């Protein structure tokens, strides 16, 4: 059986070494999230760090009053972003209400998430740290160009994150 990368000790060590668990929100990552939301025309964007049992929010753009902004994360079993940690590829959900893995996800049933697109943040050491993603409250389709925008911004986010390791 292939081990689940979510529980890979070396990946979790890498997340710690890159100082991704800081309680301070990184303004640069906030800016990347804001640009992703703006360019894809969606209300919410996250720089997520997928831990073993939870998703940690390292950067976020979204409306005031979201509980996610207070908790700075949620249980990993609700996470759309965990898929990319396992596949190392983009993950797109155009209609969460009918998606086989997410139709009963509390973020969908309770909080109204309807669409999602995310690309993995992969460190130079090859570990998937989390995702850059956008989230919307209405179903929509995503083009290859949309995913390309996210990939470009994800590369920028990883460069910023890794610059801190050198610093």
Partner 1 sequence: MPPMTSFPGSPTMLAPDRPPPLAGYKLQQPTESDAVAALHRVFGAERAAERWGTACRAAGLVPGMVFGAPQLEQVVKALSAQGGATATVARSIEIRMRTYARLASQATLMAGGQR
Assess 25 for contact with partner 1 (CB under 8 A).
Answer: no
For the window 133-162, what string marks contact with partner 1 as x by the rule CB under 8 A? ------------------------------
Among 75, 88, 125, 148, binds partner 1 (CB under 8 A): 75
Instruction: Give the integer Cα–Cα distance in Å for 50 and 5.
Output: 10
Question: How far lies 146's CA from each of 27, 75, 92, 135, 160, in Å?
Answer: 23, 27, 10, 13, 21
Q: Which is nearer to partner 1, 41 or 75 (CB)?
A: 75
| Helix or strand holding residue 60 (H, E) | strand 54-61
Shortest Cβ 51–partner 1 spacing (Å): 4
Shortest Cβ 110–partner 1 spacing (Å): 5
What is the phi/psi pair of residue 126, to 5°?
A: 95, 10
For the window 91-130, what string marks contact with partner 1 as x by the rule CB under 8 A? ---------------x--xx--------------------
């Amino acid at each position: 059986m292939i081990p689940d990368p979510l529980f890979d000790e070396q990946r979790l060590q890498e997340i710690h070494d890159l100082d991704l668990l800081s309680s301070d929100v990184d303004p640069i990552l906030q800016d990347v999230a804001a640009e992703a939301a703006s360019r894809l025309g969606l209300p919410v964007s996250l720089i997520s760090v997928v831990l073993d049992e939870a998703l940690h929010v390292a950067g976020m753009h979204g409306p005031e009053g979201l509980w996610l902004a207070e908790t700075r994360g949620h249980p990993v079993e609700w996470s759309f972003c965990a898929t990319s940690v396992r596949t190392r590829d983009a993950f797109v959900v155009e209609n969460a209400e009918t998606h086989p893995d997410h139709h009963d996800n509390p973020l969908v049933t309770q909080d109204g998430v309807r669409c999602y697109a995310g690309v993995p943040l992969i460190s130079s050491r090859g570990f998937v740290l989390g995702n850059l993603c956008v989230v919307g409250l209405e179903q929509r389709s995503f083009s290859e160009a949309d995913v390309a925008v996210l990939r470009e911004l994800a590369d920028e986010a990883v460069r910023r994150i890794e610059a801190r390791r050198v610093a």
